[in-house]
Structure 1
C-alpha cells in the first residue's frame, strides 16, 4: 500500500467520525445508520458493554430515543490502517445538550471497506465524565 493510499483511507475514516456527529445532531437517523456496515454494531457511551447489532437494529435504537437538541464535538481523531479493507480509530468526544447535561468521552472504532465505501464495523463509546 502506498503512502497516498494509506492517507486516503485515514481521511475517509476520519470523515465518517465527523459525519456521524453532524448527522446525529441533525437527527437524520437513517443516514446515521447507513454509516454502519449491514452487520455493524454499536455501543453508546452511556452503555459501552450493551451492543446493538445490525444496521436495522441501530436505526431502531436511534428512532426510539426521545427528541433532544445536541451538539457533538469530535477531536483527537487517530486512524490506524490495518489493510486495504480494514482500519481502527479512536476519537475524543464532547457532547453538549440543551439541558446542560454535558458529557466527555471517546469512541473506539473499527472500519471496513464495503461495496458502499468505508463504514463502521464497530463503534464503541465510553464516558470519561
Structure 2
C-alpha cells in the first residue's frame, strides 16, 4: 500500500511542477492538458471550468509578462485509489520585459498556495480542481 501511495504522490507532484513550468514557459496548451476535461481553476481574478475557459485565462497574456513559480514541497492531505488532495506553497515572481537582456525583478510578487484535487483518469492522473491563492504579499 505504501508503494501505491508513493506512486500517487510522485505522479501528482509531477503535475504540480509541470503546471508551473508550462505557464512560466508560455506553453499554455500543455498547462491546460494537465486538467481533467471538466477541471476547474480558481484564482483571485476568477473561477473557470473546462479546457476552453482555462485556456482563455492566458489567451491574451502579453508576451512581455514574465513569470516564475517556485513551488515548495506538496503536503498531501488525502490519497485514495482514484483521488488525491495536496497543498503546495509557491513563490511567484512576475515582471514586464521586452527586448534583449535578462528580465529584472526586485522582489517576489507574493507567496501563495495551490490547493489541488487530483483524479485518476483513463489518461492517468489529472488536476480536477486547482485553487491558487495568495497568502503573503510583498509591500
Instruction: Work out whether the TM-score is over 0.5.
Output: yes
- Structure 1 unaligned blocks of 5 or more: none
CA contact 1:14–1:79 (8 Å) conserved in 2? no
Q: Distance in 1 between matches of 2:114 and 2:78?
A: 16
Larger Cα Rg: Structure 1 or Structure 2? 2
Is 1:106 paired with 2:103? no
CA contact 2:41–2:47 (8 Å) conserved in 1? yes
Secondary structure in structure 2 of the residue aligned to 1:76: coil
- Relative to structure 1, the CA distance from residue 104 to residue 127 in structure 2 (aligned partners, 3 Å threshold; closer, same or farther) is same
Is 1:58 paired with 2:57? no
2:99 corresponds to which residue? Answer: none
Q: Distance in 2 between matches of 1:19 and 1:79?
A: 17
RMSD: 1.4
**2:124 maps to which of 108, 114, 117:** 117
- Structure 2 unaligned blocks of 5 or more: 97-104
CA contact 2:5–2:79 (8 Å) conserved in 1? no
CA contact 1:10–1:80 (8 Å) conserved in 2? no
